[in-house]
Structure 1
Amino acid sequence: MAPESSLPDWIFPPPEGFTAEDLDHLPHLPAHTELIDGSLVLVSPQASFHTRTVDLLVASLRRTVPSRLRIRREMSIILAEDQRPEPDISVIHAEADESPEQTYYRARDVLLTIEVVSPESRSRDRRRKPLLYAEAGIPHFWRVENDSGRPVVYVYELDPATCAYVPTGIHRDRVKVTVPFDADIDLAEIDTY
C-alpha cells in the first residue's frame, strides 16, 4: 500500500493543464498564484525594491488617473482559458469593477499592465507575460527594472497591425506620458517609500 501524500491535490496538474476558472476553486492555493500556459506559477516573497516600486507607481497613478479608470494592484487577468497572470499593477475601466468579491478582470477591461521585474520572474516578466498581454489586445504595457535600487520604466504600446508591443520610451528619473492618460511620476520618490 502506497503512503498517503501530504501534498495538496493541486500540486499535480490535470493532463490537459489547469484552466483560468480552476484558480477560484483550488483549495489552499497560495496567494498570488498565476496561471501561465495551463501551469500554476507560485510567486516568491517580494524584495523591498519590488514592494516600494509598486507602492510608488500605485500612489502616483491614482493621483492622475481619469475618473473613468481604476488602478488595481495584484489582480489576475483572464487572457485565455489557460492564461491568468497577475500583473503587479493594472489600469482597468471603472465599469469592470462588478463586485467586491470578484477575483479577476478580463483582458478587454484592461488598458495598461505593469510588471516590476524580480530576479525569480525575470524571464516571465520580460518575455512571456508581455507576449500574452499583447496577444490578448491589452493596449499598453510597462516593464520596470531595478538599476542599482532605482526604477527604470520601459513603456510599450500595442501595434494593432502586428499585435505586438513596440517601445515608446525608457524613463529613468521621471515617467511623463500622455497615453493611455496624462501621467507624471517622479521615480526619485522611491526613497520616501
Structure 2
Amino acid sequence: MSVAPKASTPTWPTPPEGGWTADDLDRLPNLPPHTELIDGSLVFASPQTLFHSRAVSFFEWQLQSIAPAEYEVIREFTIDIDRQNRPEPDVIVVRGDVVEDPEQTRYPAESVLLAIEVVSADSMSRDRETKPLKYARAGIPHYWRVENEKGLAVVHAFELEPTTGAYTSVGIFRERMKVSAPFAADLDLAGIKPRRKGGE
C-alpha cells in the first residue's frame, strides 16, 4: 500500500493578515540579504550582474568623494517610507546627522537627498514605476535610474517638482553626467565599463 507524500512545509515566511510591516524586516529570521518590503510584501534580490555591481560601486565612491561634508553616501541600505514600505535603494545620499548608531538598519526617508537604483532584469517595473512613485511621495528630492545599454551606463535623472509632488526629468546622460543638483557633479560614466585586458 502506497503512502501519500506529506505536504512540504514552506521554508519562506508566511505573511500575516494585512502584510508585513517595516519593523518585521528586523525581526524575521533567516531573510536573504537585501530583502525589501514593498506594499507589505517581501521582495528578495536575485543574483546581481557584473554591470550592476560595478555601477553601484562607481556611484558610491564617486559621490562619496564629492558630496558636501554634511552628507553621507551609503550603498544598499533600507529606508523607511511608511509602515508597509521599506525599500533598499542601491545607493543613497543621506543627511549625516542620521548616521549615528552602528547597529541601525534603516534611515528615515525624509533624511534622504538622493536615491539611485541600478536596473536589473527582475527589477525593471519596480525601478521604473513603483519605486519612483513611492520615493516622490516620501519627498526624496532626487532620483537617478541607471540602465544598462549594451554594457554602457545610461542615467535617467529626476527631480521632485514641489507643486505636483512628482518627479520631472532633468536629463538622460550617456558617457558623461554633469549636474548641479543635489550638488555639483561631473561624472565620467565610462568608468562603469569593464576594463580591457592590458589596461587599455
* Residue-by-residue CA offset, 1:128-150 (whole Å, 9 max, x unaligned): 00000000000000000011100
Pairwise CA distance, 1:32: 0.3
The aligned amino acid for 1:161 is T
**Which of these residues, 76, 95, 98, is aligned with residue 96 of structure 1?**
98
Structure 2: which 5+ residue stretches go unaligned?
Answer: 196-200
**Which of these residues, 5, 10, 19, is aligned with residue 7 of structure 1?**
10
Distance 1:185 1:54 in 2: 14
Structure 1: which 5+ residue stretches go unaligned?
Answer: none
* Residue-by-residue CA offset, 1:101-124 (whole Å, 9 max, x unaligned): 100001111000000000111000
**Which of these residues, 49, 66, 72, is aligned with residue 64 of structure 1?**
66
The aligned amino acid for 2:151 is G
Distance 1:85 1:119 in 2: 17
Distance 1:45 1:192 in 2: 19
Residue 13 of structure 2 corresponds to residue 16 of structure 1: no
In structure 1, the partner of 2:76 is 74
Distance 1:102 1:48 in 2: 28
Pairwise CA distance, 1:152: 0.4
Pairwise CA distance, 1:56: 1.1
Residue 135 of structure 2 corresponds to residue 137 of structure 1: no
In structure 2, the partner of 1:107 is 109
Q: Partner of 1:105: helix, strand, or coil? A: strand
Distance 1:34 1:112 in 2: 18
Which structure's CA Rg is the greater one? Answer: 2
Pairwise CA distance, 1:175: 1.1
Alignment of 1:161-172 (within 5 A): 161-172=163-174
Distance 1:5 1:132 in 2: 36
Distance 2:52 2:12 in 1: 31
